[in-house]
Amino acid sequence: MQTNPIYSSLVAIGDSFTEGMSDLLPNGTYRGWADLLAGRMAARNPDFRYANLAVRGKLIGQIVEEQVDVAAAMGADVITLVGGLNDTLRPKCDMGRVRGLLEEAVEKLAPACRQLVLMRSPGRQGPVLERFRPRMEELFVCVDELAERHGAVVVDLYGAPSLSDPRMWDVDRLHLTADGHRRVAEAVWQSLGHDPEDTEWRTPMPATVPPGWVTRRVADARFARQYLLPWIGRRLTGRSSGDGLPAKRPELLPYEGPAA
């Protein structure tokens, strides 16, 4: 890949991971790795444009139906696609259908851009996700195969020790912290052929004394009350956290950074 290439445009599609949750800004909006990446690209090209079609909670079928054709029509230099992980976390998941939809998305997006970027999503340590891990890894095998077939770049976040650390994850245990998003942006930046700005993004945080039993139980109770039970309720009723929400940045426009 070309070293330190100049890209004129970026379109990001997907779910809450690409929308930027939980990298919360003071004005109540989310920033996230895609915005950070766009900021770096814009600093190298005054004519740079950026769109982010991601919406939290979207399944791969919704991403294909609502975002893929729109992204392909924009003719961007770089398109990033991260999707399917929400499907793997559903109690009932047809992995054959997920793989087929992901293949459909890649077949449409790869010819429509200069470089398609796929990802092996980061995986947090902990018991909640362990039951879903085989599905996640099946999804990532599909990502690798599609990338090889269509010339896409794969950013391996799943294999990064730093991003499996629970301290890189917000209290909802589903979304990265601001530092986690920063590391993802760095990973994509390097995968696109740029010189590193952080050579240690994969390096785990220094070890600290783990919290005591009481502190962990209080945190577990808070997590269950504020996040786990509502999440289960949405699964049982077929609702999504993204229902009715528009795309984060629906048009391919110049990017000057997030609002204050």
CATH code where residue 117 lies? 3.40.50.1110
Position 123 scores a pLDDT of: 77
* Residue 260 located in a structural domain: no
CB hemisphere CA count around 82 (13 angstroms): 28
107 domain residue, yes or no: yes
pLDDT tens track of the chain, all 260 residues?
677 889 999 999 999 999 999 898 988 899 999 999 999 999 999 999 999 999 999 999 999 999 999 999 999 999 999 999 999 988 889 999 999 999 999 999 999 999 999 999 997 766 556 778 899 999 999 999 999 999 999 999 999 999 988 889 887 778 899 999 999 999 999 999 999 999 999 998 777 667 666 665 655 556 556 655 555 555 555 655 656 788 999 999 999 887 54
Question: So what's the pLDDT on residue 60?
Answer: 97
| Cα→Cα distances 116→57, 82, 139, 183, Å | 22, 11, 17, 19
Q: Would 3 be classed as within a structural domain?
A: no
Q: Is residue 210 part of a domain?
A: yes
- Does 40 map to a domain? yes
Query: Residue 4 domain-assigned?
Result: no
Residue 90 forms part of a structural domain = yes
2-3-8 Cα angle (round to 5):
70
Q: What is the pTM of this model?
A: 0.88
| Side-chain half-sphere exposure of 202, counting CA atoms within 13 A | 12
Q: 107 is in which domain, residue-wise?
A: 9-254
Whether 259 maps to a domain, the answer reads no
Q: What is the pLDDT of residue 115?
A: 98
- Sequence length of the chain is 260
Q: What is the pLDDT of residue 208?
A: 63
DSSP state of 213: H
Count of the separate structural domains present in the chain: 1
135-166 core/surface letters (b: 16 or more CB in 10 A; e: else): bbebbbebbeebbeeeebbbbbbbebebbbbe
Q: What is the pLDDT of residue 256?
A: 84
